Structure 1
Amino acid sequence: MKLKRALTVQNVLDYKSTKIQFKGRFYDVFGHPQIKGRWIVVGNSGSGKSSFMMQLAKEFARSEKVLYNFLEEDLDDDNVQDRLTLFKMHDVAHNFNMVSEPIEVLTERLKMRNSAQVIIIDSAMYFFRGYTFDKFIEFTRQFPKKLFVFTAHGKGAHPRTEFETSIYYDATQKVFVNGYLATNKGRKYGPNNKFFIVWQKGFEDLQGKNKELETD
């Protein structure tokens, strides 16, 4: 077997990665992320995770083709339609599509020419149901030039299951959502902040309630 030549330090430094040009608050928190990799967004029920995901999808879709794979919600659910309207997804309709597909079907779709660059899978547990972490590795490494964003359920400040925890440690970008606040957990940080307020009023209301509890 012929081995590939090992890379020198300069070889690696000379590599110029392609970045997605985030703007505004997303740039403040995440900078300009690479156009490939694996993100995980962890959040408890009612945390604001779904609203954050739609805003994140819109930011990606400003420059890249985005495919949002809904598995926990039906595409005709009022909640989905409300978020599409609230966050004005018509603004990026040319780059944003939605499906509800199992792993076998989505794999074939992603093999097609001009398939989406950014794939959002909501959620990892539904998508990989019946599979092990090895299947996650096989699936994501099959498309090394694409960017995958997986949602995961939270238990406190951590992923709920062992499977989701394995994805968390493999991820190139980690986000935790709680109380309408998304926190960048690394590996890449933006220049100005670690926190993204998902919904200002909801966040402020919760902060007020927490202060009331502290003073009781």
Structure 2
Amino acid sequence: MAKVLGLKQLHQKRYTLLDGVGDHITKCFGDLTTSFIMIVWGMSGNGKSNFLMQFLTALLAFGKVLYVSLEEGGEKSFQKMVFRHLDVDAHNGKIEFADYEMTFDALVAKLKKKKSPRFIVIDSLQYWNITYEQYKQLKEMFPNKAFIFISHAEGKNPKGTTATNIRYDSGIKVRVEGYIAFITSRYGGGENFVIWEDGAKKYWGKKFKTMLTKRL
């Protein structure tokens, strides 16, 4: 039976926020709750993976992360990128990595277990090859978890029908170009996220400061 809320009940509904996540995150993404949907897209070599690791580092204090790396999981370059941002001793036990064997069914089974990861990254949507219906199943089965989907780009948009549909549904949309993450968030914020300042200044030149508040 569908759950119906009155105006007073809606007013009294409370959400768990990621309090203390850091001003550098809040000013870009707003007041994040513990469950959200994010999609990140952009051309290769513009800073998607480094943006993601910086964002995940801020989340590790609030729950375990599962990073399903379908494209680069076994690559030395992926290992080097991860350890530019994470410390083995400080972050051990807070983040797990899975490869192509983490299918849709395997992920569902893992997330149904007690103490399963709170934040789940799928890199990338095109390699995982799920349908929009499967995406909706994940969202409905695990409403208290956060999902972050990485997508290839086609021009300035996510590539493919599933990625496009997830973009419209996501609470946080992030397009990465020239080492800046251009953010639209239902949770507030307003500034874009600078992934690598020197690289961004070189890429954007005189337009750099303008890009800090430019919308998607």
Answer whether TM exceeds 0.5 for this pair.
yes
Note the C-alpha offset of 1:63.
2.0
Please list, as runs of the form range in 1=range in 2, the aligned pairs for 1:8-87 lying within 5 A after superposition.
8-21=6-19, 22-75=21-74, 77-87=75-85
Please list, as runs of the form range in 1=range in 2, the aligned pairs for 1:93-172 lying within 5 A after superposition.
93-100=92-99, 101-127=102-128, 129=129, 131-172=130-171
Name the structure 2 match of 1:7: 5
Q: Which has the larger radius of gyration?
A: 1
- CA distance in 2 between counterparts of 1:5 and 1:122 reads 34
Name the structure 2 match of 1:214: none
- CA distance in 1 between counterparts of 2:175 and 2:71 reads 19
Q: Secondary structure at 2:83's aligned position in 1? A: helix
Name the structure 2 match of 1:178: 177
Q: Secondary structure at 2:185's aligned position in 1? A: coil
Note the C-alpha offset of 1:198.
0.4
- CA distance in 1 between counterparts of 2:139 and 2:3 reads 25
Q: Secondary structure at 1:174's aligned position in 2? A: strand
Is there any run of 5+ residues in structure 2 with no aligned partner, and where? Answer: 209-216
Q: TM-score normalised to the size of structure 2?
A: 0.87
Q: Secondary structure at 1:25's aligned position in 2? A: helix
Percent identity of equivalent pairs: 28
C-alpha contact 2:41 2:158 (8 A) present in aligned 1: yes
CA RMSD, Structure 1 to Structure 2 (Å): 1.9
Name the structure 1 match of 2:211: none
Cα deviation per residue 1:132-152 (whole Å; 9 max; x = unaligned)?
311211122111111111111
Cα deviation per residue 1:54-106 (whole Å; 9 max; x = unaligned)?
1111111122111111111123x121111122113433323111111111211
- CA distance in 2 between counterparts of 1:124 and 1:153 reads 8
C-alpha contact 1:69 1:122 (8 A) present in aligned 2: yes
Of residues 175, 191, 194, the one that matches 2:191 is: 194
- CA distance in 2 between counterparts of 1:205 and 1:5 reads 52
Note the C-alpha offset of 1:181.
0.1
Corresponding pairs, count:
204
